[in-house]
Each structure stands twice: as structure tokens, then as C-alpha cells.
Structure 1
Amino acid sequence: MILMAFSRRFPAILLASAISAFPATAQDGGEPAPTAQADASDTDREIFRPVFFERFAPQTALEMVERVPGFQIDGQSSARGLGQGGANVLLNGTRFAAKSVGIEDALQRIPASDVIRIELVDGATLDIPGLSGQVVNVVYSASAGSGQFRWSPVFRTRGADPVLLDGEISWAGQVGRVDYTLSLSNRSARRGNDGPERLLDAAGNLVELRQEESRYESERPRLSGTIARQFDAGQTLNLNGAVELYLFEATEERIGTLASRDFVEREDEINYELGGDYAFDVVGGRLKLIGLHRFEASDFLTDVATAFVAPRPREAFRQDLFIDETETIARGEFAWNAGESDWQVSLEGALNSLETGNVVEVLAPTGIFVPLPSAPDTTVEEQRAEAALTWGRRLAGDVSVQATLASEYSRLSQSGANGLTRSFLRPKGEISAAWRASDTLDVRARIAREVGQLDFFDFVASTDLGSGNQQAGNPNLVPQQSWEFDLSATKGLGPWGSLTLRSVYVTREGRVTQVPIGATGEAPGNVDGANSFFVKATGTILFAPLGWEGAQLEIDTYYRTTSIPDPLTGLRRPFSNDVPWQIDADLRHDVPGTDWAWGGGLFANQRLYGVRLNQISLDENAGVNASLFVENKDVAGLRIRASVSNLLDLNENYRRTVYVNRRDGPVAFTEERFRTYGTIFTLDISGTFG
């Protein structure tokens, strides 16, 4: 077993050795591309000043962060509470206390002209628990007032109407000692596809040939803002808020040789979020109080109608589903220094709830819809408290270490059918280390005991009218617990750029997957013995040393293996719907001495089968998504970018095999779907004002 484990990890070890051996010097000749210089007074941080980004002509802080060599933003919006590190981007040294308002949104509202510098630092050297790996700190100072705007229409050759209302306008300014931002945005989407579907019997014979056409339309208007205030005595206050609508409609029309079907699903949602923090010095340390409240109300309406060619009554179903979600978090952090050590103690309390109700109606022979028996409205609630102690310091040489010891208490309760109340006490924590092995090589290691976040929808029974799948609720679910072992290295390649290799092994207790309920039913349940291992490589390769000034290649690729005992057969299999590998490469060339840039990208991955107790399904994009773009950074003061994607006519294919009872038994039928969606053209027009 040890030999097998080593053989699986040998490619990662070999690649790490290759990174450390990569030459950090360039060939002589030619003007080198701009490189970041670390301040001599702080070798832990790599400093990128505005001059580094001049050739990209950025308009916002987001565009600058996206150009930091080898760095990728990780928003962490789904992390449990606020005490697990959060996003890997800091604003003036502090975390952004929000979840539904992403760090990308916050960066988008900061004008590039306000950015003083961007610091790239290892999270283990900071006094912020849970932050590890590469972290960016955006240091900026608000100006008297400036604005940004963006309009991004999208056109497809087939499958969807044009997107004409996608854009954002924002303003950032200062009134006295108060910095503020205000933004009005809309994320608009139009998607669609069409093609044939075949229905096959157990022997693979054609039963029905169908022609299908699907359309998906959504609008997501949002009003958001932030306020920041610094006081004379060193106190800081940060507030943020957002209110958003989400309007979605999906339609599918099927014309078959045996029947025709119309499917319509609509969602009307409103959500808001308020967050903030207040920090001040007290009794030899600094106390920070953080709060967040989020609410989301959604109403779903689904209609399915089937008309048969043979003499048979028309069938129709209607479902009305409402969902209310609430999350409230209060957190306090007290940090102090003792000699060469940094300490922090924190307390966090959270209240999460989900309330849902569902009515399904069937078309009666009289022509009116009649309600079917349904479960009563259900409320799922979690009360959670967490206490943590964090210690960090620099050890001998260029090694920094951070350790966190924490404990979590949670109380889960569910009303309605199969209501149940349970309490849990779980230890967790982590230890991370950062080693600056040389001026061009940083190595990071992390071991963590983590408690996962439950999906409250898994507690509630549900019906999917589109696929015909039903799922029982499971009031006995518990949060997943895991051990995570993380090792990464970043190699600075001098004028060639930067390359990062990361490997992660995770062993999981209580992973949530579909488990048998009774003779034919199923529900989400906890399964022990799951594990995963993946290797990821990201980097920025500059071509200036080869004489190609202004050109760079961004790469992001990974390979992952997963394993879990199948609850039905007992045999080990990959995670359901897993993506074992992915390749994403983007080339950009900023033509020296001009305002022009051009480039392209390639994206490909593999998706594995989704596994239920009575069926397996595969939903994948078959092929490679290739794209090209051309950009001018100054068209009467505007930046205009035109791009085209899906140049190789990528398809959306789907295959589902349904079994009579369980998937270890005989096959009932198979569906095969082949759809195309055409070439996509996008125009991005952005600028500044004020």
C-alpha cells in the first residue's frame, strides 16, 4: 500500500524537482518585460507597483490582481462561517466581510488609479487564521471621486437570443474621512441548444426519436455599496451591503415520434446581505468585531405537459415551490503580540435556517389541476458556535509557521415530517508552514482537520419534474469531517514568469452521497472512507526572453483521482459527477508601442458519470473550447474588446441509463442526447469617468 501511494504521488515529486531546477535567468538581448521587485525591507512580500501593469491599461483593481503572475483569486464564498480564512485577497490588510458579495465585485469597484501597490505574500506569514498559500493584499487610497462602467453584449449564431443588458456602472469616492463605493450591475445570460435525442430499450433498440430545443434566460440586477472609515485613535469601520433580484426561465420543447413535451421552469428570487467589521485597540491587543446577515427568498414554478401520438389522455404536472434561506454570523477576534509570536483568540456564533414548502398538482380528466399529497412545510435550522486559538511566528531562517486549535458546537433541528434535533461537538484546526527556500522558490505545507458545511436541501424530500427523479429527505445527516494534507511550491522564473505546483490529499469521513432508502428509494446520506488526491499547476510564462515582447501564457491545469465505497455495491468508485482533469491555457500579446492586444485560449476537461441508486448519467461538453480576442485599450478613451468562443463547435451531450429498480439490476431504458449551441461573440466596452 505504501508503494502504491508513493507511485501515485511520484509525478508530483518529480514535477516539484523540475520546478526548482528551472533556470531563473534570461538570454541576453532585447528589453525585458516589466518584472516585480520585492522591497529590500520586506523579503516576505513581492511588491507589484502600478508601473508593472501599465501595458495592460487596467481600469480597476480587479484587472490588476488578475495580472499578478501565477496568482488566482479564490473567493471561498461557500466556506463554513467566517472563520476559515475566506478569500485569498485582502483589502488594505483586512478581509472583506461578505459572502454573496464576492471579492471580485469589491475589486471591480476600486479604480486602478487608486491602487498604490499590490503585495503577494504567503498566508502562513499573516496573523489571519485559515489563510494559506498565495495571498494578495491590495493597498489603495480612495480619491475624491471616479467611476467605471462596462457593457458586455453577447451574440450566438444559434440557440439563444442576444444578451443586451449585461453591464455595470460604479462610483468610488471620499467624503471627509469616509471612503465609499456604489455599484449598479446586471448579470444577464441567454443560453440554449438543440439537437436529437434517442430513447433506447434495454437491448439498445430505438424506441423513439426526439428533436429537442432548450432555452435558458436570466437577469440578475444588483445594487451594492461599501463604506470605510478610519478614526484618529486607530479604529477602523467597514460596512457593505447589497440587494439583488434573480429572474430565471428555462424552456424545453420536445417533438418525438411517440409524444411531444413542453417543459417550463421559472424562478423569482430576491436576496440581500449586510456585513461589516469594527476594529480597535484594547488592553495590549486589537479587537475586531465582525457581523453578517444574509436572506434569500425564492419562488419556483414548474410546468410539464406531455401530448401523445397514440390515443391517450394528455398528461400535465405543475409544481410550486418556495424557499427562504437565512444566515446570520457574529464573530469576535482579539489579536496580540508576545515577543516574536502572534496570537489570536476568536469566538464565532452563527444561525442558519432553511424554510421550504412544496405543492405538486396533476391534470385531472376534468381539465383542472388537482393537488397531490405532499409533505408539510419544513424548517431546517443550525445553531453553531466556534472557539479558536491561533499562534504564529517566524522560526529560524526563512520559515514561518501558524497553528490553530479550534472546537465547534452545532445544534441541528428539523421540523415537519421526520423532524429531529441533534447536537455535536467537534474538534478542528490546522498547522501551516511557509519556507522561503531561496529568492525564487517558496514552499508551503498545510495539515488541517476540517468540518464541512451541510446542504440543508438534503434534509428535505424533493421531486424533479424535468428528469422524473425523486429524492427522500434525510434528517440524520451530519457534516463531513476531513483531514487535508496540502503541499505547494512557487518558483519565480525571473523574466520567464512564475510557476506554482500544488498537491492535495484529502481523506473524508461522512461524505454526502446518494444512499438506499427502502427497496427502491434513495436520499443523501453519509458514507465513510472517501478520499481524493490531485495535482494542480498554474503559472504565467513570459516570452520576452525569446524576443516576443509583451506576450505571455497563463496556464491552469489539474489532474485528480477520487474514491468512495459505493453504498449499493460496496465497490470503490470515483465521486459522482467528478471532473478528473482540466486544461485551461490563455495566450495574450500586448503589442509594444501600440494600444492593441490580441490572444486566444483553449479549454478542455473530462466529466465522469453522475451516480444515483437507479441510474447513471453523463452530462458533458464533448471537445475543446477554443477562443480568440482582439482588444484596443484607447478608442476615444474607451477600452473595446471583441472575442469569439466555441470556434471548434463544441457539443453538449447527455446520456442517461435508468434501471428497473437498482443499477445492479436490469436496464429499463437509455436516453442519448446530442446538442449544439453555435459560436459565441462577445463585445466588452469599458471606460472611466469623473
Structure 2
Amino acid sequence: MSQAQETGDAPQPVPALPAVVEGAKSYTPADFARFAPKTAMDMLGQVPGFVVRVTAQERGLGQASTNVLLNGERFSGKSNDVVAELGRISAADVVRIDIIDGATLNVPGLSGEVANIHYTRRNTLSGQFRWNPQIRAKRTPASITNGNASLSGAIGKVDFTLGFDNQSRVNGNAGPEIVTDRDGNVIDRRDERIDVFVEQPKISLGLKHKSASGALANLNASYQIFNLDADETSFRSGPNQVDRDRRFFEKEREYNYEIGGDYEFAIGPGRLKMIGLHRFEHSPYSQTVITRYADDRAPTGQRFEQKADEGESILRAEYGWSAGKSDLQVAAEGAYNYLDNVSSLFLLDANGVFQPQSLDNAVARVEEKRAEASATLTRPLSSKLTLQASLGGEYSKLSQTGANGLSRAFYRPKGFVSLAWKPSPRLDISAKVAREVGQLNFYDFVAFVNVGSETGNAGNPEIVPQQSWLGEVSATRNFGAYGTVTARFYGRLYQDIFDYVPIGDDGQAPGNLDKATLIGTSWTGTLNLDPFGLKGAKIDLSGQFQHSRIEDPLTGIHRPINDTMSRSIEISFRHDVPGTDWAYGSYYNEFEHQWQYRLNEKSRPSNDPGGVGIFVENKDVLGLTIRGSVDNLLGTQEQFTRIVHDGRRTDPVLFTEFRDRDYGPIFTLSISGKF
């Protein structure tokens, strides 16, 4: 029984929807009925061949980058993102999902497949929840606080959504770490265990209003707490060494908030949209390592503490209008970012007291003031070909106070040209060339010490944002009842790319190198098995392969870009048994990363032979969907290799660490429902 029936209120009528754009593939709630979705995200996750693309660390608000729109609009948030918002929209409120090429939309910045979620608040009050308790088979206690819930409705002409989310986790593993010298001789044996506890509860509020004149107003706000506690024990022994008991602790107590909104209204021949956002983060963080010795000598240890406040304020204006067959938009944005940082390093003395040590570039305030402007044209060149082009630029001023204070100003061009071509009803092809400016991580400007790995960054006040040329071509082929496949080919030419560079005689820190290249391909696809006789079954596939090239700042020899993903593959099977509420399935995934190169070492994780999991789901247990899954059936270990040199990487190898930690199967129970 619906909430409206229970309260006696008549459900609100479904509003008139925009006509389906020619060439779009549309899905209605009936297309997802067999999955019994609870949220818009549940529905979007079952769209054949579609994958949500989210750009990390976006520079300001800029143009749209996430390939999801809500009622034709981009979501005005950053840490409070559109993916989280999709999880708060009830599936009962979704009336249609359109999949269309982004270049055909009057939303600058989008290319390739874009999902436009049409939804409305048709019930006076509705809600949904999901609870995901999890336990690893070995060592760690259960994680029982992972889940989310949201409540949506309308008060007059104001739609609201109140959400709560906690992406908690309890991780842990244990196993040996073997240390060998340059000749392969074992010099240290370590029996290690780590336990990691993360709680990050978050509350959010979204308000939406549409006036009789057609003006639209949105307000989004969130507040989050992030608590991290990690405890690693390491019992160590080796030839000619005293047995040792080493403990490493990591702790963070962060809170952050964000408030953002937009207001759009008609003025003159077009519409003006004003967007504003402010976010703040307070992040006290610490690492402590203490080693105790079997021969009763005094313990040794170090502690690193960092207290940081980050803030970002953005104002953006967009004005769009139509001129014949063309849609045009001009936009301007101003942003102010800052980081206030105080870092401290301490050394444990013979009396067991941590004494402060000198640390260069430890106290600083980093600021960036930025302004940008752009003009965008969207125009159909024929019935099957659409052009979108944008030209713009930005001015930014970077400044840092403290011992290594510095102030600089930059001008950078930005823009793109994209084409969407539909040569046949079942084939979509898009191409894009773009000039982009990357985001800065202000923590790279200041000193940081990792006392666990005995590494550190000196801080670099001369960092500038990296720039790149992006070229990509993607094609989506719809095979009707058989499914959909999307392939994407892309390449980047980087300027001022981030890598580790020398600081002083023996220091290092993130800095800029002149250039680098990256090429790659990705593909996603859905194969429906109904035509082969297995009704209600499908296989989803995705993969990505990359090759990169950069000149190493030490050796002058070309190598891959630091820590880039070189291979990622995922295959999943799902069968919704016809005529029942049961579903079952399985998955396989694997990845490969390139080495992380510092000036004195390189390191890399691995997950050979990859992950395998299975699940069983019932979609109506007293109105709830209950899913049980078991992951890591192949017993994949968490492996890590680190090669440390005696000085720089051009010097001989000092030692090699190889870690092989076991964590066993992972059992997860998911319970979701509506209220």
C-alpha cells in the first residue's frame, strides 16, 4: 500500500515530460520492474552498458563533467555529489530515464552517453533505506553501521529530500613481510597485522522549488564526520638483529560541511542561472610509530601531526539562449580556495617523551584566487550530426605564506569541440578534443612525513596546475534484444604533469614535469541472455587498458606515469528467475597498476589472481529486498612490493620489501526497503 493510500491523500499527477529527444534510448519503470529497485541509482545501475563517470577533484564547478542529469539539470554540488543524490531519489518517483549523447544537449561539457533522470515527487511522503552489515571471515569484528536512509516529499511547492549515509568499513589483514638485500638474502622477517576502522556519517538536505513563472531554485547542504583509526602490529626478527615489536597508529578526526544552490529564471531572450557553493573541512591527523626491543634497550619512535583547515567558495553565472537552430551559453566563474596547515614532527627520547623536531615548510597558508569565462555553441549540422564547441580561459593567482612564501599569477586557455553523429538508429558515435586545466592539491605545497614508511615530502611552493590536451572517440552500438556495447578510445598530452621532483640536496616532493602522454581504451557492454533461452539473465562486462609515457626526472629514461592504472577488467552475471522473487549471480574483477616512483624508491600493489564473488537475492521478504553475498572466493591476498635504494633510484638497491597479507572471504548482508 502506498503512503498516499495510507494517509488518504491522492497522489500528485505525473507532470508532462519533455518529448523524447530524437536518437535517445528511453527506459520507463516497467523496464526495471524485474529488479525491484528502491532508488534511482538502483535503476540506473541496470541500464544496459551505461556506467556513471565521475571526475575526481574537479577544478571549481566549471562545466558539467558527470554524465548524469536530474530533470535536465546538472547537480550543484561537489562532495555532496550526484551519485549520492541518486541514492536518495525513490524509484517510485522516477518516470523516465533517457540515454543520449551529451553533445546534443544544451549542457556544455558533456560528451558520450549521458543519463537524464526524469523524476517527480508524486507522494506526499516516501522514504527508502539500505543496511549493509559485513564481516570478514578472519580476525576483524563485524561492520554493522554501514547504510543509508532518505526521506522525500513535498511541502507546498517545495520538494525536499533529507538523507543520512554512513559509508563505514572495518578492514583488516595479516601475513608475512619479507625484506631482502640487493643480492636476495633475507635480512628481516615480519609477522604483521593491520586493523582499520572508518566511520563517516553524513546528513544532507535538498530543497527544490519551481515557481509559476518557471523559475527554478535548488538548495543542497550536507555535514559529515570522518573518523579513521588504524593499528598495525609488526613482530620483527632477522640475522644479526634484535627481535622487535613495532606498533603503528594512524588517526584522523575530520568534519566537513558543504552548502550549494542555484537559481535559474527567464530574462531577455534566454535564461540566467546563478550557482553558488561553499565548503569547509577541518582535518586533525596523526601518525605514531613505536618500536620496542627484546634486549630491553629504550624504545624508539616518531610522531607526525597535521592540523589543516580547507575552504572553497565558488560563484558561477550561466546565461543561455536560442538563436535559430543554435543554442548558445556564456558563463563566468570566480573561486577562492585556501589551506591553513600546521605540521609537527616529534622524536621519542630515552625517557619515553616525544620531543619536537625541526620541520621545514611545516606552517603555511596556501591560497588560490581564480576567475574564468567561456562561451559555448551547440548546433545541429544535419539531422544526424551535432556540434558543440566552447572557448574560454582562466586567470589564477597562487600565493603561499610562511617560510617559503611565494606569489604567482597565470593565464590559461580552456575549451573543447565535440561532435555527436548518429549514422543509424542503433549506432551513436561521438568525438571530442579538449584543452583542460587540472586541479591542485594544496597539501603538495607543505611538508608531510609518513613515519610508518619512513618517507616524506618536503613541500613545494612552486607547483602549478597541470594542463592537458584530451582527444577521445566513443561509439555505442545497440543490438536490440541482445544488448548494448560502448567502446571509447582516448589520449592525453600533458603539460606540467605532477610527479616527484628533487627538493634541495636530498629532499623530494610533488612537482611539475614538462610533458607526458597517455593513451587508452575502455569498453562497457551488456549481453542479454533471453534470446539464447535463459530468460531474465544478463552478463555485464567492462574493461579499461592504458599505456603512458613520461621522462623520469632522475634517469632521463621514459617510464609509465606514476601509479596509473594499466588494466582493469570486470565481468558480472545476474539471473532474475522468471515468475519468482529470486535472483542470483556472480562476478570476477582484476586490476593492474603501474609502479609508484619516488626519487629513492618505487612501490606497487597487486591483487593476483583477482576477485570472485557470488550473491543470492530475494526481492520480496515482507516487502524488503534481502541480498547475501560472499566475496574473495579465490582467496586473493593483499600484496605489496617496495624497492628502496641507497640514496636516489640511480644508486644501488638497499633493500626490497614484499608483503603478502591474507584477509579471507567477506560476507555481506544487504537489506533494503521503502517506508
Q: Deviations over 1:58-92 (max 9, x none)?
A: 11111111111111112335221111313211111
Q: Is the 8 A contact 1:77 1:86 kept in 2?
A: no
Equivalent residues in 2 for 1:546-557, closer than 5 Å: 546-557=532-543
- Equivalent positions of 1:288-437 (< 5 A) are 288-310=273-295, 312-375=297-360, 376-437=362-423
Q: Paired residue for 1:195, among 175, 179, 184? A: 175
Q: CA deviation at 1:311?
A: 5.8
Measured in 2, the distance between the counterparts of 1:230 and 1:274 equals: 20
For 1:127-138, what aligned pairs fall within 5 Å after superposition? Answer: 127-138=106-117
2:202 pairs with 1:222: yes
Aligned residue identity for 2:599: L
Supply the distance in 2 between the matched residues of 1:50 and 1:673 (Cα, whole angstroms): 48
Partner of 1:27: none
Identity value in percent: 44
Structure 2 residue identity aligned to 1:216: V
Offset from partner CA, 1:128-170 (integer Å, 9 cap, x none): 1111111111111102110111111001111421111111121
Q: CA–CA distance in 2 between the matches of 1:287 and 1:41?
A: 24
Corresponding residue for residue 213 of structure 2: 233
2-structure distance, mates of 1:366, 1:280: 68
Q: CA RMSD in A?
A: 1.4
Q: 3-state SS of the aligned residue for 2:30?
A: helix
Which position in structure 1 is the counterpart of 2:134?
154
Is the contact made by 1:522 and 1:613 (CA closer than 8 Å) also made in structure 2?
A: yes
- In 1, Cα distance between the equivalents of 2:307 and 2:503? 25
- Answering whether residue 585 of structure 2 is matched by residue 585 of structure 1, we say no
Whole-angstrom distance in 2 between the partners of 1:367 and 1:464: 20
Contact kept? 1:501, 1:536, Cα under 8 Å: yes
The one-letter code matched in structure 1 to 2:556 is G
Q: 1:287 aligns with which of 265, 272, 295?
A: 272
Answering whether residue 163 of structure 2 is matched by residue 178 of structure 1, we say no
Paired letter, 1:252: E
Name the CA distance, whole Å, in 2 between partners of 1:255 and 1:660: 25
Residue in structure 2 matching 1:253, options 226, 233, 238: 233
What is the Cα deviation at residue 623 of structure 1?
A: 1.3
**Alpha-carbon distance change, 549 to 255 in structure 1, aligned in 2, over 3 angstroms:** same
The aligned counterpart of 1:30 is none
In the other structure, the counterpart of 2:12 is none
Aligned pair partner of 1:207 in 180, 187, 197: 187
Aligned residue identity for 1:452: G
* Separation of aligned partners in 1, 2:46 and 2:475: 19
Corresponding residue for 1:6? none
1:474 counterpart (428, 444, 460):
460
**In structure 2, C-alpha distance between the alignment counterparts of 1:92 and 1:659, rounded to whole Å:** 55
SS of structure 2 residue aligned to 1:529? strand
Q: 2:574 matched to 1:607?
A: no
Who is 1:59 aligned against? 38
The aligned amino acid for 1:203 is D
Distance 2:374 2:478 in 1: 35
Aligned equivalent of 1:530 = 516
Secondary structure of the 1:556 match is strand
Report SS of the residue matched to 1:113.
Answer: helix
Structure 1's 310 and 616: CA in aligned 2 closer, same or farther, altered over 3 A?
A: farther
Letter in 1 for 2:616: V
Distance apart, 1:473 and its partner CA: 1.1
Structure 1 residues 41, 658: closer, same or farther in 2, change over 3 A? closer
Q: Return the alpha-carbon distance in structure 1 between the equivalents of residues 35 and 301 of structure 2.
A: 55
2: CA distance, partners of 1:483 / 1:159: 48
The CA distance in 1 between the partners of 2:580 and 2:489, in whole Å, is 40
Q: Is the 8 A contact 2:457 2:509 kept in 1?
A: yes
**Matches of 1:486 and 1:559, distance apart in 2:** 14
Cα distance in 2 for residues equivalent to 1:533 and 1:45: 29
Q: Is the 8 A contact 1:189 1:217 kept in 2?
A: yes
How far is 1:520 from its partner? 2.1
**Counterpart of 2:240?**
none
Single out whichever of 180-189 and 74-83 deviates more from structure 2. 74-83
Q: Which moved more, 1:100-109 or 1:217-226?
A: 100-109
Deviation at 1:310, TM superposition (A): 4.4
Match of 1:671 among 646, 657, 661: 657
For the 8 Å contact 2:304–2:450, the answer to whether it is kept is no
Is the 2:20–2:26 contact (alpha carbons within 8 Å) kept by the matching residues of 1? Answer: no
Match of 1:45 among 24, 30, 49: 24
1:608, CA displacement in angstroms? 2.1
| Structure-2 change in CA distance of 1:39 and 1:83 (3 Å) | closer
Counterpart of 2:124 in structure 1 is: 144
Deviations, residues 497-518 of structure 1 (Å, cap 9, x unaligned):
1000000011101101011223
Deviates more, 1:40-49 or 1:401-410: 40-49
TM-score (norm 2): 0.95
Match for residue 222 of structure 2 among 211, 231, 242: 242
Farther off after superposition, 504-513 or 521-530? 521-530
